[in-house]
Amino acid sequence: MYFKRKELEKFRSFKGPLIDVRSPGEYYKGHMPNSINIPLFDNDERTIIGTIYKKDGREKAVIEGLKFVEKKLEFLLDSLLMIIDSQKIIPEKNNDESFIKIYCSRGGMRSQSISWLLEKYRFYPITLKGGYKTYRRWILDSFSKKWNIIVIGGKTGTGKTRLLSLLDKYKYQTIDLEGFACHRGSTFGGLGMKEQPSNEQFENKIAEKLYSFKTINNIFVEAESANIGKCKIPHEFFNQMKTSRRIEILRSESNRLHELINTYSVFKKEELQESVLRIKKRLGPQRTKIALESINDEKWDSVCRSVLDYYDKCYEYEKAKNNNLTLLDLTDKEYNEKILELINNIL
């Protein structure tokens, strides 16, 4: 395992283009950051080859794969040369920036085939031993390390995400879990956000961010449930969050309503109403009716009040599981002028 980690570190140290030659489906599920997908086989072709491999063995699967590649060889080469040309990589030039990094699933025939093709044009390709599988082992191992996490807690509308952004601006180590998940973690969480990544790619993003940090320094994260939309926080990392130091933000109801109105009133009424209907059983018929009617009439204060009570009860349940709380009673002015001073006094 140590040997494979060293191979991965060496592979990552080169500065040339990073090419993922797996199928589009594999790439979507999870990939190395900044990699470019030039698939040797598309999703259907990969399925066909896999079936032949299981049924008739490796030799026949290789022959079928060669038939697919033969038809698209010119396209593959053009795609590779386009990337190489865009990064001004010169043939036969041998330095860290001229190596073309290639990986497939396990460092097998797909990456080796593309490497062979580039060598014929006198480029310097380098493949990852163990492929993406080695990278994923490294990702999962990173969550078991001990991290100095500080959790920012607070009820809905207390501005936790705003505080996290402010800390990031002033070069504190932060992980925006909701940003990585493209979801705010509630029934309204997907509004205005991009499509959520796969859970695997969500993990990749977190681990890469951790890799950029100094281990001895604090890492600030927002308090979350285990799931953020369809993305699940890695189990080992989430367990550390639950036992970490915590800063609890307290704000008046009027300030919280103001925060929520600014965040959600910009969305279409139909989207907001659909979000309310997803939790109608939990809200109950009366609060659901009030919320739906208020959205239709653009009475945003009433909309937010009708759902705050529900979210507050959920939050009190979650908060009861944590014991190490530091309370900050913040006004809007303190958010902008004193928050960093308060944070530093706590730590």
Helices and strands per DSSP (H, E), number in the chain: 17, 11
Write down which residue in 102, 124, 139 finishes a domain.
Answer: 139
Tell me: do 172 and 317 sit in the same domain.
yes
The pLDDT assigned to 220 comes to 96
β-partners of residue 183 are none
Q: Which SS3 state, helix, strand or coil, does residue 305 take?
A: helix
pLDDT digits (tens, 9 = 90+) for 187-214: 777 777 789 999 999 999 999 999 999 9
Tell me: do 45 and 162 sit in the same domain.
no
Tell me: do 32 and 93 sit in the same domain.
yes
Tell me: do 130 and 165 sit in the same domain.
no
User: Side chain identity at 84, as an amino acid letter?
Assistant: I
The CA radius of gyration of the chain, in Å to the nearest whole number, is 25
The pLDDT assigned to 28 comes to 96
Domain of 304 in residue numbering reads as 143-346
In the chain, the number of structural domains is 2
Tell me: do 341 and 239 sit in the same domain.
yes
Tell me: do 241 and 111 sit in the same domain.
no
For the chain, the helix, strand and coil percentages under 3-state DSSP, each to the nearest 5? 55, 10, 35
Task: CATH number of the domain at 333, please.
Answer: 3.40.50
Place of tokens 């009475």: 299
Prediction pTM value: 0.88
- HSE, side-chain direction, 13 A CA sphere, residue 306: 23
CA angle 271, 274, 279 (to 5 degrees): 135
The pLDDT assigned to 134 comes to 95
Tell me: do 316 and 171 sit in the same domain.
yes
Residues of the chain with pLDDT under 50: 320-321, 323-324
- HSE, side-chain direction, 13 A CA sphere, residue 76: 23
Q: How many CB atoms lie within 10 A of CB 49?
A: 21
The pLDDT assigned to 144 comes to 92
Residues 6+ apart with CB under 8 A from 61: 49, 50, 52, 53
Tell me: do 8 and 54 sit in the same domain.
yes
User: Side chain identity at 210, as an amino acid letter?
Assistant: L
Task: CATH number of the domain at 94, please.
Answer: 3.40.250.10
The pLDDT assigned to 118 comes to 92
Tokens representing 253?
């109801």
Write down which residue in 90, 120, 139 finishes a domain.
Answer: 139
Strands, E assignment, the chain: 18-20, 36-37, 99-103, 124-127, 149-154, 173-175, 219-222, 227-228, 231-232, 245-250, 325-329
Please tell me the distance from the alpha carbon of residue 286 to that of residue 276, in angstroms, as a whole number: 12
Please tell me the distance from the alpha carbon of residue 86 to that of residue 36, in angstroms, as a whole number: 13
Active site residues: 104
The per-residue DSSP string of 136-151 comes to HHHHHHHTTS---EEE
Write down which residue in 90, 121, 139 finishes a domain.
Answer: 139
The pLDDT assigned to 323 comes to 44
Tell me: do 133 and 204 sit in the same domain.
no
Q: Are strands 231-232 and 18-20 parallel, antiparallel or unpaired?
A: unpaired
β-partners of residue 18 are 101
Tell me: do 335 and 195 sit in the same domain.
yes
Residues 6+ apart with CB under 8 A from 86: none
Tell me: do 169 and 99 sit in the same domain.
no
The pLDDT assigned to 325 comes to 52
Q: Which SS3 state, helix, strand or coil, does residue 247 take?
A: strand
The pLDDT assigned to 319 comes to 57
The pLDDT assigned to 172 comes to 94
The pLDDT assigned to 39 comes to 96
